[in-house]
Amino acid sequence: MRFNDIRLEKISESNFGSFYKGLTHNFYDLKENKFSDKENKFTIFLNDLILRQSSFSNSSEFNLPKNFLIEFRENIISIIDLNGLLEKIPSNAIFISLLENLIHLIKNFDFIEDKLLFAENVLHNSIGLKQLSFFSLEKDFEELMINNFDEVFVFHKKFGVCKINLILNQKSFSNIIQRIANSVGRDFDKYNPLLDAHLPDGSRVNATFNTISPKGISLTIRKFSFTPITIVDMIKNNTLSVESAAFLWLMVDGMGLYPKNILVVGGTASGKTSLLSVLSNFARLSERIISIEDTLELNFLNRENWVALEAKHVKGEEISMDDLLKNALRMRPDRIVVGEVRGGEALTLFTAMDNGHAGSMGTIHANSARETIDKLSQKPFLIPKSHLGLIDLIVVMKKTYSVSGGVKRVVSQIAEVSKMDATILLANVFELKDFVLEKVNLPSHLIEELAGQCSMEKNELKKELETRQIVLTWLVENDIIKAQEVLEVIQSYYFDPKKVLATILEQN
């Protein structure tokens, strides 16, 4: 046995597989029998009907209700045919509709123990990712990474990278990728060996053809979360503290007058985009937000005055992030949010800041505030030193792992940026010490600056900061985690802070 194939003790189990501790990475072993024999046979029968590999006449052994097959044809197969789902991946809305229909059809089948799980399994294995359906069914899987037919890995929220005991069927795997390509209207072959897109459900996909990846076709899918993360989730998960969250809330809002320019930085999959979405939802609903991304990932909930722009990378139709950012400046934005600053668009963003577009936000790959400043002055960004002081705050995200706690994403540094002559100065307001984000015992120059801009006393603004901390603490203690409910409390505070505080005091 190879060193990297050694399994140690079992560390967890789910409906679909078991997790084992390994020496170089963990393992996830798929279970062969998730359902009873009769459930498995019925699953195969329904899958074959959907895929036209069986006829309705083969239903005698299941003793089906009289109208079941007619309703199955009308409510499942006809919708699949109408939307071409044997050639494409379904959108989330269509999948949920089919799921509800199927659950309704099987609600009186006593031999099916878990109706939701059974229906999900049938649909994922017929019109979903099929052999890779475990990725959709396991809720805590974040990313799927396939290097070759026998090299399949996932990233789990708690257990990190896990190797799967799965050897893919080459024909089935190729069919899955072709359906993904069809879903986004792209070609994927030796002449078009790169596929970078997102699925109808929002998941991000990248695939490479074997002309440029000699080991074989590769596939990477980053799952889209249908439950938006909120500032309350981040506080409860110890991503940041209540005090630091209140500080960021105040800086993003700027008392509705002078919002600060903020960059969220960190390594790959450190949680930058999630934090950017959370911070952006501190913006007042009256403000018009234009977001610019290479691939849509930001989630601003049901905000009406928001326009999402996405770069396009199709031959003859190239529309870059920089093109979109320049266009956004003509759309009367109150806020510009850039999903990931990578190159030429950086200068346009800083020019926009210089021209008075306050409250701009974005992410960048960097491991510290100092590294961010150094990178921005170099290729491919080439931001003039005279512009670097336009950033007000740098928030650093970090991904950590421990055997006891698993994978965690935390804010490791919140640094204020200032300028003295030609020198860029950085001062930490919060920093991570012994896994706790603590306030540095130094005055915040942004608090002083904002107080002056709003014609407030410094102590008056500090009291405002404490009040917002009370609101966030109340949200956490009352377990208010639904994104829309959190948004409503934040926005209600802007409209009538006294009423919100009175509600909190009354309940306490």
Burial grade of 406 (CB within 10 A; 0-12, 13-18, 19 or more): middle
Give domain 231-507's CATH architecture. Answer: 3-Layer(aba) Sandwich (3.40)
Handedness of CA 284, 288, 294, 298 (dihedral sign): positive
pTM for the model? 0.81
Per-residue pLDDT of the chain (508 residues; tens, 9 = 90+): 687 888 889 999 988 899 999 988 999 999 876 788 899 899 999 999 999 887 777 777 778 888 898 999 999 999 999 999 999 999 888 999 999 999 999 998 989 999 998 999 899 989 988 888 889 888 889 999 999 888 999 999 889 899 999 999 888 888 899 999 998 888 899 999 999 887 877 788 999 999 999 988 999 999 887 778 999 999 999 999 999 999 999 999 999 999 999 999 999 889 999 999 999 999 999 999 999 998 788 888 878 999 999 888 766 678 888 999 999 999 999 999 998 898 888 988 999 898 889 999 999 999 999 999 999 999 999 899 889 999 999 999 998 877 666 778 999 999 999 988 888 999 999 999 888 899 999 999 999 999 999 999 999 999 999 999 999 999 999 999 999 999 999 999 999 999 999 999 888 7
Neighbours of 213 (CB within 10 A): 15
Question: Domain ranges in the chain?
Answer: 3-32+133-222, 37-128, 231-507
Residue 247's contacts (CB-CB under 8 Å, 6 or more residues apart) are: 414, 429, 430, 444, 465
In the chain the first and final C-alpha atoms are separated, in Å, by: 60
Pick among 3.30.450.370, 3.40.50.12370, 3.30.479.10, 3.40.190.10: CATH of 3-32+133-222: 3.30.450.370
pLDDT of the residue at 33: 64
List, in order, residues 6 or more apart from 181 with CB less than 8 Å away: 187, 188, 195, 207
So what's the pLDDT on residue 404? 67
Bridge-based pairing state of the strands 406-420 and 393-402: antiparallel
Q: How far is CA 153 from CA 1, 162, 220, in A?
A: 19, 6, 10
pLDDT for position 186: 86
Q: Over 417-441, what HEC string results?
A: EEEECCEEEEEEEEEEECCEEEECC
d(CA 474, CA 203): 33
Identity at 189, one-letter amino acid code: D
pLDDT of residue 316: 67
Q: Yes or no: say if 376 and 383 are a contact pair by the CB < 8 Å rule.
A: yes
What is the phi-psi region of residue 125: left when phi exceeds 0, alpha when psi lies from -120 to 50, beta otherwise? alpha
Q: Coil, strand or helix: which one is 286?
A: coil
Looking at the DSSP bridge assignments, the partners of residue 393 are 262, 416
